[in-house]
């Protein structure tokens, strides 16, 4: 059982290590060509039969059984923080499951939109770059026109036929700024321009339709179903991370989305926010209990994720330093007892115990379970 859970834990670990993984910009990117449908269908004939769980897509591999990295890899590094990078991708994967089932679909990352093409879309519109999706440079100070679109993410979904894999849909994530960070002059200070959420959402929908008309020009994507999600990223100093605020589908080659679906989600950090709520009070009791058990606790925070105003999940991070396995085992056992006693049972919970050097322990409980799984790392 320990071996199984250790492997299931890897996707969670990747969220905490994503900043390290994504900063590897020296990896060689093949020169992409827009509209590589023929290459994909002839090469993507190998699929992984192993699936970590119903929430995970199986990858479509090349004919040598190798994973194909995104052709626009590294574009999301422009996001405000590591947590935004992680949630932008993780939540788009989750939203995609409503349209493209994990049971019947295989996934590849960014095989149709090249990095050069995506970067041209992310830039401002100009005479030299008429494809830019951000508005032309205009105004100064309070009258400056901000950059609304920060990043673009692409997932490609395939279904299996008798001979090969067929592209069955694409998910596109658009990361929108609520704060635009910029420099008025080269080497000058970084300035910030706030963008109201309503304005960001309205501009995001307009940008999505402009993007659709461009995507439909890419060979192989003329009639492909496309789901677009609008992600409102949090500011640089926000620890909670952003959320998707709307999604829509383009079918039958349509170049616009008329019926957007609003997404009611939010994230907050305990104990900085939400202390007057029942779950915030429960976290405070848990925090007080586990801090009193061991003297070397540096800090405890909880990232709460609300969906439709209901607490869906809580990710707790505990910073400390243990110098022996006995200490760590004892503390993990006490964490399990305290979490069961004080935290609500009707939600998903993850608890990470880490030192400045590494992760030391992990506890997890799904909403359908009553007991916590725990693992102490050597």
Please tell me the least confidently modeled range out of 26-35, 53-62, 94-103. 26-35
Confidence of residue 259 (pLDDT cuts 50, 70, 90): very high
- Sheet of 265-270: strands edge to edge? 265-270, 299-307, 310-319, 348-354, 359-365, 373-376
The tens digit of pLDDT for each residue in 284-304 reads 999 999 998 887 788 999 999
Please tell me the least confidently modeled range out of 157-161, 210-214, 280-284. 157-161
pLDDT score at 53: 59
DSSP symbol at 134: B
Please state, as a whole number, how many other Cβ atoms lie within 10 Å of the Cβ of residue 257: 20
The tens digit of pLDDT for each residue in 355-376 reads 888 999 999 999 999 899 999 9
Alpha-carbon gap, residue 61 to 70, rounded angstroms: 12
pLDDT averaged over every residue in the chain: 86
46-263 and 268-376 have identical folds: no
Sign of CA dihedral 238, 306, 94, 315: positive
The tens digit of pLDDT for each residue in 140-151 reads 888 899 999 999
The three-class DSSP label of residue 203 is helix
pLDDT score at 351: 98
Length of the chain: 378
Alpha-carbon gap, residue 15 to 360, rounded angstroms: 16
Alpha-carbon gap, residue 21 to 14, rounded angstroms: 8
pLDDT score at 224: 96
Alpha-carbon gap, residue 246 to 232, rounded angstroms: 9
User: Can the peptide bond before residue 207 be classed as cis, meaning omega within 30 degrees of 0?
Assistant: no
Alpha-carbon gap, residue 377 to 9, rounded angstroms: 12
- CATH number, domain 46-263, options 3.30.70.20, 3.10.570.10, 3.40.50.150, 3.40.50.720: 3.10.570.10
Confidence of residue 21 (pLDDT cuts 50, 70, 90): very low
The tens digit of pLDDT for each residue in 180-225 reads 999 988 899 999 999 999 999 999 999 999 999 999 999 999 999 9
- Domain segments of the chain as ranges: 46-263, 268-376
Whether 94 has a pLDDT exceeding 50, the answer reads yes
Q: Which CATH architecture has domain 268-376?
A: 2-Layer Sandwich (3.30)
* CB within 8 Å of 217: residues ≥ 6 apart: none
Whether 12 has a pLDDT exceeding 50, the answer reads no
Alpha-carbon gap, residue 118 to 116, rounded angstroms: 6
Cα distances from 232 to residues 164, 196, 243, in angstroms, run: 37, 11, 6
pLDDT score at 13: 44
117 versus 28: which is more confidently predicted?
A: 117
Read off the pLDDT of each residue in 18-46 and give the average, rounded to a whole number.
41
What φ, ψ does residue 235 adopt, rounded to 5°?
A: -65, 170
Six token digits for residue 341: 């006693």
């Amino acid at each position: 059982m320990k071996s199984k859970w250790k492997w299931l834990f890897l996707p969670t670990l990747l969220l905490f290590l994503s900043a390290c993984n994504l900063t590897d910009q020296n990896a060689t990117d093949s020169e992409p060509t827009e509209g590589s449908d023929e290459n994909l269908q002839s090469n993507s004939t190998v699929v992984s039969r192993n699936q970590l769980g119903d929430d995970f897509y199986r990858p479509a591999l090349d004919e040598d059984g190798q994973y194909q990295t995104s052709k626009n890899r590294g574009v999301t590094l422009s996001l405000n923080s590591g947590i935004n990078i992680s949630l932008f991708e993780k939540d788009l994967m989750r939203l995609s499951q409503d349209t493209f089932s994990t049971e019947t679909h295989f996934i590849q990352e960014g095989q149709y939109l090249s990095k050069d093409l995506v970067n041209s879309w992310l830039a401002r519109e100009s005479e030299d770059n008429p494809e830019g999706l951000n508005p032309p440079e205009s105004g100064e100070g309070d009258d400056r026109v901000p950059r609304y679109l920060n990043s673009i993410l692409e997932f490609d979904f395939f279904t299996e036929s008798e001979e090969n894999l067929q592209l069955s849909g694409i998910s596109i994530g658009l990361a929108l700024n609520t704060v635009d960070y910029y420099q008025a002059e080269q080497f000058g200070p970084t300035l910030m321009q706030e963008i109201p959420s309503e304005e960001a959402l309205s501009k995001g929908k307009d940008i999505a339709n402009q993007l659709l008309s461009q995507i439909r020009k890419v060979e192989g994507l003329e009639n492909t179903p496309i789901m677009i999600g609008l992600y409102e990223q949090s500011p640089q100093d926000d620890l909670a991370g952003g959320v998707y605020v709307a999604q829509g589908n383009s079918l039958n080659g349509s170049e616009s989305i008329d019926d957007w679906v609003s997404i009611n989600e939010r994230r907050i950090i305990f104990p900085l926010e939400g202390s007057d709520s029942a779950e915030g009070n429960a976290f405070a009791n848990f925090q007080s209990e586990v801090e009193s058990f061991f003297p070397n606790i540096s800090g405890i925070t909880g990232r709460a994720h609300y969906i439709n105003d209901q607490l869906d999940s809580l990710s707790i991070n505990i910073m400390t330093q243990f110098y022996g396995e006995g200490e760590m085992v004892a503390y993990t056992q006490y964490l399990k007892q305290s979490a069961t006693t004080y935290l609500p049972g009707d939600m998903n919970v993850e608890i990470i115990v880490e030192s400045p050097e590494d992760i030391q322990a992990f506890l997890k409980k799904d909403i359908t379970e009553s007991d916590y799984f725990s693992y102490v790392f050597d």
